[in-house]
Each structure stands twice: as structure tokens, then as C-alpha cells.
Structure 1
Amino acid sequence: MTTLMALRAPRWHVHAACRNADQEVDWTDTKPGSKAAADCKAICRLCPVRLTCAITALTTSKSYGVWGGMDQADREALRHAEVQVAA
């Protein structure tokens, strides 16, 4: 039973704006600063679960794609800022 639960997407995914977005948009393979990343971020701006998505990406060390309106470079900059504040 536990295995089946782990395979299901988190509940917040069903509310994500990207869930019904254009299938041509590649969320996982966008290059930071690219038009594809900008297109993804534009969809994220109005997403009701943007914050949850961003927190998920930051706490699980997602290193690719756009999550919560942030691309890889945005997340790295935020992680670097956190380290400096903690020091």
C-alpha cells in the first residue's frame, strides 16, 4: 500500500497552472534565461500553487527545469543567498 501512495503525485499538482499548459512547453529541460524558461515563468505567475511548487523544488534540491516560477539559475542564486545569510 505504501508503494502505491508514493507513486501518486502530490495533491497540489492538480491545482497547478502548468497541468493544463501547452504540451509544447518543456518544463524540465529549459535553459536558464531562454525563451522557453520565460514562457514557463509566465504561466507560473498566475499559478495558485506557485509557492508550494517553489518550496518543493528548493527542499528536494531540484536542479533542472522551472519550478514555482524559478529556473535553475534562480534557485541557485536563492540557495547561495541563504548560505550567506546563515553565515
Structure 2
Amino acid sequence: MTATVALLAVRADEYVPACTTDPERWTTTEPDDEAKALCRRCPLRWRCAREAWETPGAEGLWAGVVIPESGRRRDFALRQLRSLAAHGGYPVRPGYRARRRIAPAGE
């Protein structure tokens, strides 16, 4: 049985995503290729895409998509995540976006 087939055999509510075992690996804006591949095979990818879209200031690797801190690449990544979420059956709230980075107090 391949890894992909094994993942599909696990119910999404019983699956423990790889990002929960080593969260630091997913918070960088330059994740490694293996981390991206793990995200793209995750059965929770669609839900993760919606959470990234709805989380103000989301950065790093979400649902296999790298979200930069700001700029046009961030806007593009968020559009990708919105599309992924909708494709997976997790439509995002209309008009709601996690576009802006939330600045820490005192910044």
C-alpha cells in the first residue's frame, strides 16, 4: 500500500497532521520540499487552506502554499488558498480575508 493510499484510508477526524509534531518547520516562509509534499498529501489540506484564509496575519506554509509576510506574492498565495478551500468543500466567508499582517504591539 502506498503512502497516499494509506492516508486516504484514515478518517480526517482521526488523522494527526505532520505540522502538529514539528510546528517550527511550517512557520518559516522558506520551508523545505519535504514539508511542502507532506502538506499536499495531508487529508486536512482543504480545511487548513480555509483556516489560513480566515486567520489574520497567517504566514508560513499552509496547505502546501507558502504565505509571505506581505506584497503581491501574499495576495496570490491567499487566492490559491481560497481556491483550494472551496475545491475541497470548505468555502470561505465571502468578503473576509486574512490579507494584512497583524503588527505586534509597539511596532
TM category, shorter: 0.5 to 0.7
Does residue 48 in structure 1 map to residue 43 in structure 2?
A: yes
Q: Is the 8 A contact 2:26 2:61 kept in 1?
A: yes
CA distance in 2, matches of 1:63, 1:15: 23
Which structure dedicates a bigger proportion of its chain to strand?
2
Residue type at the aligned position of 1:54: A
Residue type at the aligned position of 1:55: R
Which structure dedicates a bigger proportion of its chain to helix?
1
Superposition deviation, residue 19 in structure 1: 4.6
TM-score normalised to structure 2 length: 0.44
Superposition deviation, residue 61 in structure 1: 2.8
TM-score normalised to structure 1 length: 0.52
Q: In the alignment, what sits opposite 2:101?
A: none
Aligned residues: 67
Does residue 59 in structure 1 map to residue 59 in structure 2?
A: no
Give the unaligned 5+ runs of structure 2. 1-11, 83-94, 96-107
1:24–1:70: structure 2 CA closer, same or farther, 3 Å change rule? closer
CA distance in 2, matches of 1:25, 1:16: 16
CA distance in 1, matches of 2:58, 2:51: 12
Q: State the secondary structure of the residue aligned to 1:66.
A: strand
**Identical residues among aligned pairs (%):** 27
CA distance in 2, matches of 1:80, 1:20: 24
CA distance in 1, matches of 2:18, 2:48: 11
CA distance in 2, matches of 1:61, 1:40: 22
Superposition deviation, residue 46 in structure 1: 1.1
Q: Is the 8 A contact 1:58 1:75 kept in 2?
A: no
Give the unaligned 5+ runs of structure 1. 1-11
